[in-house]
Structure 1
Amino acid sequence: MMKQGKSILISLLGLLMLITSCASRKSIYMFTSFNEPASAGLRLLYSKDAYHWTDLNHIFLKPEAGKDKIMRDPSMVQGPDGTYHLVWTTGWKGDQGFGYASSKDLIHWSAQQHIDIMAGEPTTVNVWAPEIFYDDEAKQFIIVWASTIPYRFPKGQEAEDNNHRLYYTTTTDFKTFSPAKLFLDPQFSVIDAQILKRGNQDYVLVMKDNTRPNRNILVAFANNPLGPYKDFSKHFTEMYSEGPNATKAGNDWLIYYDSYHLKRYGAMRTTDFKTFTDVSDQVSVPEGHKHGTIFKVTPKALKYIQKEIGQQ
């Protein structure tokens, strides 16, 4: 009887150790961010549940790329070798490229580059909100952004210098980039696009319809990350919404967005990208946070970052 009890105790201790080990490996959500003025640089938020966010209150990278030396819309992805790759908007208008830098630990960074990706289209007005996605099937990085090329597309109510379409480039090494190509012309002005992968040959594009009076968020679907995207959804956020970014949280997807007219960060929850529930009152995002992307790190990585910036 004592042996049986001891065996049960050992089993329970083993189960407890397994649970503790699994808990310690649970990922931490990280949210790239910037505050105004955009000249300050890269900030990072973190969360254990993807709902409640804490600002690390530190500038991790001060922008040096581009003539305006600003950093807006920082987008981050971790490559298969563990390297973090960051791209960002370097100017409002008169800028035909985006910023790029990489890091192994989010503390030490490579030299910043300005990738003049639209130099082949000399009338390009801007390169806004580059979003980076790693295509694990084609083994390449895809960067999508919004640009206006005046008189290239039929316009709505927008001026010719505000009639955006989405473009893209691919790279495997961030040294050479494929020529910029049209990624999406949905027959309306579109910006702030993020590619999501749900499964094999199952992709969702989250984007902002930038036409007047819409200026809110919708999604479309494809069986390849490069499209073609179709079956556009209805708009599911209030007007004056932008900068959508989604992350998987359990069985749900959370789509964060900047509701700039209401001066708050909103969030929509969905499982199928067909029905959406407003959970803005269930999330907490630090005041001043602006358009970024969500990725994951280990608890160990977060502790290292906190130690390096003097928060431990």
Structure 2
Amino acid sequence: MRTRITSLISLLAVWPLFLFGADTNQTSTAAVPPKAFLFSYFTGNGEDGLHLAWSRDGCKWEALNDGKSFLTPEVGESKLMRDPCLLRAPDGVFHMVWTTAWKGKTIGYASSRDLVHWSAQQAIPVMAHERGALNCWAPEIIWDEKRGEFLIFWATTITGKFPETAGTGDDQYNHRIYSTTTKDFKTCSPAKLFYEPGFNVIDATMLRAQGKFYLIVKDETRNPPKKHLRMASSADVAGPYENLSAPFTRDWVEGPSALQVGDEYLVYFDAYRDRRYEAMRSRDLKTWENINDKISFPRGVKHGTALAVPGSIVEALLHPVPPKRD
């Protein structure tokens, strides 16, 4: 009799699934750990704006909001939102910067406390003073605890600068990394040269680890082809960055982002010729292992930023509270 009752209870428990189907888009509270990871990214040409994915372990990433955009671009020369870089400041506020156009002198900026409700977007004219500036690509932002300010850095080509490497990149581009600082995103310091490795360089990103700051960059040299990632280090977030490593990825990759997961460091990047994301893993930032077979990303992911966040933030994005009605 007990067997029959148990079988009946089991059947009743699963019967709703036959009627309505399992809800594969929902994640239980128990499934989100106290510490989780977010990945900000764009798709296509960046027309529809910010996309977010989340992960429990830094390897398997799932799209949030059913893969739909969280924020539509409204500012800049082309009103795009490419290369969105997301930072959670010490006060819990998220700050985001992004590429607004293929050619132009501005970067985009907005802030949010919950990644759903955003401040008014701004186009910050970081290179307006440089008549020969062609572009502002892949801006990134980090909090400078020592100086109590935000450091923003990006890649720009200024016509006529660095003639020794002219013609080594794509088209007329010959990039270096520039930077500005701000405390309030209302006023910014004059842009200045931040990193000059002696070659065409783009897609700088930063990792804080082992008491140092590591600057990961793409060697954008096309003639002869390089297009791989290298790393320099500094004791100060503001630099100077030295001890440039040998390449630690294959060629023809871009858009790196670094994340610490436990005692390991992961560097994700876009293998754009193969239209997929790949990753390398290290424990000492010297010896690297390919972990492509261990990672998965939502379809169409392009250049973004990985960061650790409290699990409660992911939980709120997975299960938003409906607005109250009067």
TM-score by length of 1: 0.88
Question: Which SS does the other structure have where 1:304 is aligned?
Answer: helix
Identical pairs, percent: 44
Residue 30 (str. 1) matches residue 66 (str. 2): no
Deviations 1:238-272 (A, max 9, x none): 11100000000110000000011222111000122
Aligned residue identity for 1:32:
S
Match of residue 72 from structure 1: 82
What is the rounded CA distance, in whole Å, between the counterparts of 1:167 and 1:37 in structure 2? Answer: 24
Match of residue 53 from structure 2: 45
How much does 1:114 deviate? 0.1
Residue 274 (str. 1) matches residue 286 (str. 2): yes
1:197 to 208, 213, 232: 208
2:175–2:200: 8 Å Cα contact kept in structure 1?
A: yes
Match of residue 147 from structure 2: 138
Aligned residue identity for 2:137:
W
How much does 1:275 deviate? 1.0
Moved more, 281-290 or 151-160: 151-160
1:111 to 120, 126, 148: 120
Match of residue 135 from structure 2: 126
How much does 1:308 deviate? 2.9
Which structure 1 residue ranges, 5 or more long, are not aligned? 1-21
How much does 1:157 deviate? 2.1
Aligned residue identity for 2:82:
R
What is the 5 A alignment of 1:141-220? 141-153=150-162, 154-155=164-165, 156-158=167-169, 161-200=172-211, 202-212=212-222, 213-220=225-232
Moved more, 155-164 or 287-296: 155-164
Aligned residue identity for 2:157:
T
What is the rounded CA distance, in whole Å, between the counterparts of 2:252 and 2:210 in structure 1? Answer: 31
Match of residue 9 from structure 1: none
2:106 to 92, 97, 109: 97
Match of residue 249 from structure 1: 261
What is the rounded CA distance, in whole Å, between the counterparts of 1:124 and 1:106 in structure 2? Answer: 32
Q: 1:24 to 1:147 in 2, by over 3 A?
A: closer
Q: 1:265 to 1:160 in 2, by over 3 A?
A: closer
What is the rounded CA distance, in whole Å, between the counterparts of 1:112 and 1:307 in structure 2? Answer: 26
Aligned residue identity for 2:61:
W
Residue 222 (str. 1) matches residue 234 (str. 2): yes
1:149–1:161: 8 Å Cα contact kept in structure 2?
A: no
Aligned residue identity for 1:231:
N
Aligned residue identity for 2:214:
V
What is the rounded CA distance, in whole Å, between the counterparts of 2:114 and 2:48 in structure 1? Answer: 20
Deviations 1:162-196 (A, max 9, x none): 10000000111111111000001100000000121
2:32–2:56: 8 Å Cα contact kept in structure 1?
A: no
Match of residue 25 from structure 2: none
Q: How many equivalent residue pairs?
A: 287
How much does 1:33 deviate? 0.8
Moved more, 150-159 or 51-60: 150-159
What is the rounded CA distance, in whole Å, between the counterparts of 1:309 and 1:69 in structure 2? Answer: 30
What is the rounded CA distance, in whole Å, between the counterparts of 2:33 and 2:253 in structure 1? Answer: 35
How much does 1:37 deviate? 3.3
1:219–1:233: 8 Å Cα contact kept in structure 2?
A: yes
1:283 to 295, 308, 323: 295
How much does 1:47 deviate? 0.1
What is the rounded CA distance, in whole Å, between the counterparts of 1:292 and 1:37 in structure 2? Answer: 13
How much does 1:160 deviate? 7.1
How much does 1:135 deviate? 1.5
Question: Which SS does the other structure have where 1:281 is aligned?
Answer: helix
Question: Which SS does the other structure have where 1:152 is aligned?
Answer: coil
Which structure 2 residue ranges, 5 or more long, are not aligned? 1-29
What is the rounded CA distance, in whole Å, between the counterparts of 1:163 and 1:148 in structure 2? Answer: 5
CA RMSD of aligned residues (A): 1.7
Aligned residue identity for 1:241:
V
TM-score by length of 2: 0.85
What is the rounded CA distance, in whole Å, between the counterparts of 1:46 and 1:150 in structure 2? Answer: 40
How much does 1:140 deviate? 1.3
Question: Which SS does the other structure have where 2:172 is aligned?
Answer: helix
Aligned residue identity for 1:82:
G
